[in-house]
Amino acid sequence: EVQLVESGGGLMKPGESLRLSCATSGFMIDNYAMTWVRQTPGKGLNWVATSSGNGGEIHYADSVKGRFTISRDNSRKMLYLQMDRLKVEDTAIYYCTKAMTNLNQHLHSWGQGTLVTVSP
């Protein structure tokens, strides 16, 4: 069974940094693209970043490019999101997701999410 467990969320001030982690199990992470998606409470879904299976291809939403870094440690079955220079508008639930395949970016499995709140 695929399991994705996020951690690392919290209450932060603008300009601070935070690292989210996603522990994975039940599948070979090397074979799958992994994506972070965020959702402002009560609002819709927004794609944040995607890493290919070997980490060699990475894409970011314009809103986070240059501030967030997605990375993975396949040997530890972990996905990360380093969030620097946080802004109030980064407040959201952050979901770790597993893609259908390394090339098919539909989101097969979702974690329970971790809440990041950025407030002055």
Partner 1 sequence: EIVLTQSPATLSLFPGETVTLSCRASQNINTYIAWYQQKPGQSPSLLIYDASNRATGIPARFSGRGSGTDFTLTISSLEPEDFALYYCQQRSDWPLTFGGGTKVEIK
Q: Which residues bind partner 1 (CB under 8 A)?
A: 35, 44-47, 50, 59, 61-62, 95, 100, 104-113
Tell me the closest approach of the beta carbon of residue 119 to partner 1, in angstroms. 22
d(CA 73, CA 89): 28
Task: Return the number of the residue (5 or 28) whose C-beta is nearest partner 1.
Answer: 5
Task: Give the dihedral sign, CA 31/40/9/7.
Answer: negative
Give 37-78 as a DSSP string: EEE-TTS-EEEEEEE-TTS--EEE-TTTTTTEEEEEEGGGTE
Tell me the closest approach of the beta carbon of residue 42 to partner 1, in angstroms. 10
Please provide the size of the chain in residues: 120
Task: Return the number of the residue (15 or 26) whose C-beta is nearest partner 1.
Answer: 26
Tell me the closest approach of the beta carbon of residue 45 to partner 1, in angstroms. 4
Tell me the closest approach of the beta carbon of residue 44 to partner 1, in angstroms. 5
Helix or strand or coil: residue 53?
Answer: coil
Task: Return the number of the residue (24 or 50) whose C-beta is nearest partner 1.
Answer: 50
